[in-house]
Amino acid sequence: MRGAGASRRLYTDGILHSQFNPRRIVTGSVWDLLWLGLYFHPRPQPQRALLLGLGAGTVARQLQMLFGELHVTAVENDPVHVRVAREQFGIEPEFATIHLDDAKRFVARYRGPRFDLVIDDLFAGRGGVPSRAISCDRKWLSQLQRCLSPTGVLSINFADHDELKNSAVPAMLARNSPIKSAFSLRCPATENVIAALLPYAAQSADLRAHLNATPMLAAQLQSGGLRYQARTLTSASYVAPQM
């Protein structure tokens, strides 16, 4: 754990897994992008979220601030991360149910109520270089979709554009799937790319309009605290945009 002003940061094996400042809802980094896809809808009201890869709970805290009634089911395989989430990041049991488990096993066995938001933030790495902990192949995507409600949003974190391009996501978009629109989300602070997969038609302009109509986020967007780039993701041709 490290502190920087009011911010707290969790590093494991040289990799920054969590960062949160309770005075600010946004981080200016990749964690913002993991829930940003909800705002392609004009009035998102998620009730249940599945967070695969809790870290110390950055995204869980953000979701709590944005959607007070939402309940998070989090899966984390590192007991130290879980302890830090509870003791240092304030992840309370009444808001988040944490399963100390392997995410792949949890998802394969899950048969409970479906979720309005599923976030795959499963990363590991060595020497400060992160990489996905689970290959995003066709089987994994199918299992994630099975956890989604019919109106649910799927958000998947990739290390970079090449990793997204080589995943099963573009091929899935070519099939007759429940995904009606898809976007790649990126912020200048990181190489990570998030695939936001939606069950309804949307455009990138919708996201900015809905963020500007959300008082809690509009000020962050206008001040540059919330930074992102949204590009339409299609199966026909996916080329990594230049930043």
Instruction: Convert the pLDDT of each residue in 133-187 to its tens digit.
Output: 899 999 999 999 999 999 999 999 999 999 999 999 999 998 778 899 999 999 9
AA letter at 148: L
**Separation in Å, CA 58 to CA 27, 77, 207, 232:** 9, 16, 22, 26
C-alpha dihedral sign at 144, 146, 148, 153: positive
Backbone torsions φ then ψ of 52, nearest 5 degrees: -95, 105
Residue type (1 letter), 167: S
Cβ 159 vs Cβ 135: under 8 Å: no
Per-residue pLDDT tens for 114-140?
999 999 999 876 666 677 889 999 999
pLDDT at 240 over 60: no
The reported pTM is: 0.88
Report, as an integer, the average pLDDT of 62-71.
Answer: 92
Mean pLDDT of 177-204: 94
Answer yes or no: are the C-beta atoms of 213 and 221 closer than 8 Å. Answer: no
Residues in Cβ contact with 81 at an 8 Å cutoff, skipping those fewer than 6 apart = 10, 12, 17, 18, 54, 55, 56
Q: What pLDDT does 15 receive?
A: 52
Task: Please state, in angstroms and rounded to a whole number, the distance separating the CA atoms of residues 161 and 178.
Answer: 23
Domains of the chain by start residue, with CATH: 26-232 (3.40.50.150)
